Amino acid sequence: MSSPTQILADFASRLSFEDIPDAIVRKANDAIVDSVAATVFGSTLPWSRIVIDYAVKYGGGGTGRILGTPARVATPFAALANGTLAHGFEMDNLRQPSAGVHAGSTLLPPMFAVGDEVDAGGRDLLVAFVAGCEVMCRIGVAARNTAEKLGFHSPGLTGTFGAAVTAGRLLRLDPRQMANALGIAGSLCSGLLAFSKAGNGGTVKRLHTGRASEGGVLAACLASAGFDGPDVVLEGKLGFFEAFTREPKLDELTAGLGSNWETSRICMKAYPCHVTANTPIQALRDLQAAHGFAAQDIAEIHIATSEKVLSHHDIRHPNDIATAQYSLPFCMATAAWRDPSEPSSFLDNPHEDAGIIDLAQRVVLTLNEESKAPGAAWATKLRVRLRDGREFAIERRDFRGAPSNPMSAEELDAKFLHLVDGVIADPRRLLEQLNDLRALPRISQLAI
């Protein structure tokens, strides 16, 4: 009998464009557009420049473009750079409900890197993205996010497998080679959450998806040349689930494969901060719009939220931007004092702003028992007490951009144009090409 790893490899290598429902193709296309915007914006950031310079210095002269720059570098370095840029400011898309997967920052980079190398057409790019997403998300769901309880950053683990599949599709790996690519990818997983307790060093989080993207390309390229890896790397003794997770649900690896499309669950972020803050921020903005209070009016913010927020995101004294974006109290205080939909609100050192620091200490976090229900990890109960004694409360389970509350096509286009403004020479032409990716003959024709 085939192992779950082999079943996933077989599915990924045999998937055709015609197998994918139109709605799923559209969802993948939207996620790609969203991811390009996040990556291009990421190219403008100072910490991204360090990675870009590294890729150019050691990998210059290749075919892979680093989005938002004129640079061309070797394929693995392009994946590394773009993966880091895409996650460079907490704007990359992920899954609803959360499963420790980031489609945009781990699938788009190998898609572009290998796509540039083989000059792939739009349909091949879409199939590669969907194949990677379907495999990666199932691994994330089966892992039940327990890797993060052990100190690992899940996208640095699951993303390596997704990247290997996406790269492998564009390299036309057969089922055996694809299984080997997954087997190799399992030994390339990495990423620690030490910064969340240290209160500093959060910039390294941005590297985790870059390394996952690079590792996936390495795994696929080696597999294409005959290098092998264990074909039970996920479920086998001393394999991925035993090493990185606790009590996985292995039946989720293949449940509904080819009919229950994980790609449909991709979620676009509304605000450039950790996803666990997006629903509370949406709730706060709803209350402010309804009752007209401002940050200086707030005495306390009470949030009933998930266990993961209490264990990982209750950071009161972050010392860098990335850690502030990972902290729910700081994200809420930033959203109260500034416009949270503007990247500049989080880019302009919120962890050094006296008003934000003060309000963040007055954010009270408690457990929301409802968040323990399947698919309810983002369930939030928010109560705001004002200095004049008034109190307002609201409950939310999602935010604008989630599959349960999707952005319109116009909103997605506006987000893209806002993020790439001033970086791309002809953003509207690029948006038009990306929005109809299936019609693109070759990736080299993109106006980027």
Give Cβ neighbours of residue 372 (< 8 Å, ≥ 6 apart): 306, 307
Domain 275-396 part of CATH 3.30.70.270: no
Nearest of 48, 44, 40 to residue 108 by alpha carbon: 40
**Domain 4-269+412-445 matches domain 275-396 at the CATH topology level:** no
Distance CA 147, CA 246 (A): 7
Q: Do 268 and 108 touch, CB atoms closer than 8 A?
A: no
pTM > 0.95: yes
Q: Do 120 and 442 touch, CB atoms closer than 8 A?
A: yes
pLDDT of residue 15: 98
Distance CA 134, CA 146 (A): 20
Which H/E stretch holds residue 411?
helix 409-420
pLDDT of residue 1: 66
Give Cβ neighbours of residue 375 (< 8 Å, ≥ 6 apart): 97
| CATH, domain 4-269+412-445, list 3.90.870.10, 3.40.50.1390, 3.40.1190.20, 1.10.4100.10 | 1.10.4100.10
Distance CA 90, CA 244 (A): 24
Tell me the domain boundaries of the chain.
4-269+412-445, 275-396
Give Cβ neighbours of residue 53 (< 8 Å, ≥ 6 apart): none
Tens place of pLDDT per residue across the chain (448 aa): 699 999 999 999 999 999 999 999 999 999 999 999 999 999 999 999 999 999 999 999 999 999 999 999 999 999 999 999 999 999 999 999 999 999 999 999 999 999 999 999 999 999 999 999 999 999 999 999 999 999 999 999 999 999 999 999 999 999 999 999 999 999 999 999 999 999 999 999 999 999 999 999 999 999 999 999 999 999 999 999 999 999 999 999 999 999 999 999 999 999 999 999 999 999 999 999 999 999 999 999 999 999 999 999 999 999 999 999 999 999 999 999 999 999 999 999 999 999 999 999 999 999 999 999 999 999 999 999 999 999 999 999 999 999 999 999 999 999 999 999 999 999 999 999 999 999 999 999 999 9
Distance CA 398, CA 395 (A): 10
Instruction: Give 256-261's long-range contacts (Cβ < 8 A, gap of 24+).
Output: 257/7, 257/8, 257/11, 257/134, 257/138, 258/11, 258/15, 258/19, 261/20, 261/21, 261/24, 261/130, 261/134
Cα dist from 6 to 151, 174, 177, 284, 302, whole Å = 28, 11, 10, 46, 47
Q: Which residues of 164-199 are buried (b: 16+ CB within 10 A; e: fewer)?
A: bbbbbbbbebebebbbbbbbbbbebbebebebbeeb
Give Cβ neighbours of residue 34 (< 8 Å, ≥ 6 apart): 93, 104, 268, 412, 415, 416
